[in-house]
Amino acid sequence: MVDKIKNFLSRFYIGIILFFLYVPIFVMIVLSFNSSRSRVIWGGFTLDWYRTLFSSSEVMQALSTTMILAFTSAIIATVIGTVGAIGISAMRERNYKIVLAFTNIPMLNADIVTGIALMLWFVRFMPLGFGSVLIAHITFNIPYVILCVMPKIKQMNLSIYEAARDLGANSIYAFVKITLPQLMSGIMAGFFMAFTMSMDDFAITYFTKGAGVNTLSTMIYSQIRKGIKPEMYALSTIIFAFVFLILLAVNYVPKMKNARKCK
């Protein structure tokens, strides 16, 4: 009986937190169908914002910049980070600790300080633009990759790699066939993390982007004073639905397959 009450309270509490996390998202989804431009008055159902969204070249430009940026920076960060993590893990204890301390700097430092420091450095030798934002994103993404990959390297059984080498595999073949598969889950988590962080970043992009380049975040920020265009709600709703379906597929399709196998 006590257990039942406790279970109920646990469920209830999880529900409250979920409500807190999803209320603003629900508000945004409703607003994307609101025909009144006013943000509090319901003016009836409309799909107009979805229509104008796809004809707005400004929004589409920002969307493609954001996606290209997130994808490219996550890929480069994953490669440099994974290879770097393997190298760091083979270092002597003292050097290992020093490098990891430096790895933590972009994570510990405030975004605004990281962004400003990079901007002050970039303006000395290159124009601010897509290139500078890309470098900045790679810089703050690498620590997340290392953080995800490092525990997998520690769990990895080195003897298998050594055995492969002893049996005549060259180092690249052994790396691809033995090391990479063992690290794959960490690498994927690192990539996913880096991609998400890049998509959601504002402060560092804001300081390093220069004129002319806009991601979704910086574009929305520039609209705050003038008033947000309802197209942005429509776009967010589409992204939300898209990610929701992907996560659903990733999480439940493998399980369904497993269930079928069991039968």
Partner 1 sequence: MEKKKRLNKRTWLSAPYLIWIVGFTIIPLVVIFQDAFVNAEGSFTMDNILAIFNPIHMKSMILSLAIAAGCTVICILLAYPLVLALRRLNMGREGFLVFGLILPMWMNFILRLLAWQMILSKNGILNMILGFFGIAPLPIANTWLSILIGVVYDYLPFMILPLYNAISEIDEDIIEAAKDLGAGGFTVFKKIILPLSMPGLLSGIVMVFVPSMTSFVVADVLGGGKIQLIGNVIEQEFTKNVDWGLGSGLSVSLMIFVLISMAFTMKNDPEGKESAIW
* Touching partner 1, residues 93-152 (CB under 8 A): 95, 99-100, 102-114, 116-118, 120-121, 124, 135-136, 138-139, 142, 144, 146-148, 150-151
Q: Which of residues 11-40 bind partner 1 (CB under 8 A)?
A: 11, 13-14, 17-18, 20-25, 27-28, 31, 39-40
Task: Kindly state whether residue 2 participates in binding partner 1, applying the rule CB under 8 A.
Answer: no
Task: Kindly state whether residue 86 participates in binding partner 1, applying the rule CB under 8 A.
Answer: yes
Which position among 53, 88, 178, 234 is part of the footprint of partner 1 (CB under 8 A)? 88
- Distance, CA of 226 to chain centre: 28
Q: Which of residues 202-241 bind partner 1 (CB under 8 A)?
A: 202-203, 207, 216-217, 220-221, 224, 228, 232-233, 236, 239-240
Q: Which of residues 243-262 bind partner 1 (CB under 8 A)?
A: 243-244, 247, 251
Q: Which stretch binds partner 1 (CB under 8 A): 43-51, 52-60, 195-203?
A: 195-203
